[in-house]
């Protein structure tokens, strides 16, 4: 990705809290879920983090997945064409035992490093 492409790139972040009892199954599903998403047009890479601070509620785990996409158009296509199906899969498997919050980020090129 060159400098111009990097300026157009967006980060799609998904923060998840899940019950400890489903943690192993959720993490296994999440690996497959991320692999499927990375196969979609416009997705460049993904990084998964365990959230340490703020700590999750008692009996929960917290994870953060950051997907990097080439541009807004790729994110818009994902949200329109794929997100409803992929989100429904997680709900069908885990129901109310997890919660996800999402946000979209872009590197602030004019901010001090």
Domains along the sequence of the chain with CATH: 3-105 (3.30.70.100)
Report the pLDDT value the prediction gives residue 108, as an integer from 0 to 100.
84
pLDDT, one tens digit per residue, over 18-63 is: 999 999 999 999 999 999 999 999 999 999 999 999 999 999 999 9
Read off the pLDDT of residues 68-92 as tens digits, 9 standing for 90 and up: 999 999 999 999 999 999 999 999 9
More confident residue, 30 or 5: 30
Per the model's pLDDT, the better-predicted residue between 2 and 99 turns out to be 99
Residue 101 pairs with which residues in a beta bridge? 15
Write out the H or E segment, with its range, that includes residue 55: none
**What's the Cα-to-Cα distance from 58 to each of 12, 32, 48, 62, 94, rounded to whole Å?**
27, 26, 21, 11, 18
């Amino acid at each position: 990705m060159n400098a111009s492409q990097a300026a157009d790139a967006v980060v799609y972040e998904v923060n998840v809290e899940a019950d400890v009892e489903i943690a192993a199954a959720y993490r296994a599903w999440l690996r497959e879920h991320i692999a499927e998403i990375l196969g979609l047009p416009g997705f460049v890479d993904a990084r998964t983090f365990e959230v340490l601070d703020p700590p999750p509620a008692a009996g929960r785990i917290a994870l953060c997945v950051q997907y990097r996409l080439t541009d807004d158009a790729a994110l818009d296509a994902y949200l329109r064409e794929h997100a409803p199906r992929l989100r429904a899969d997680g709900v069908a498997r885990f129901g109310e035992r997890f919660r996800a919050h999402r946000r979209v980020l872009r590197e602030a090129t004019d901010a001090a490093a």
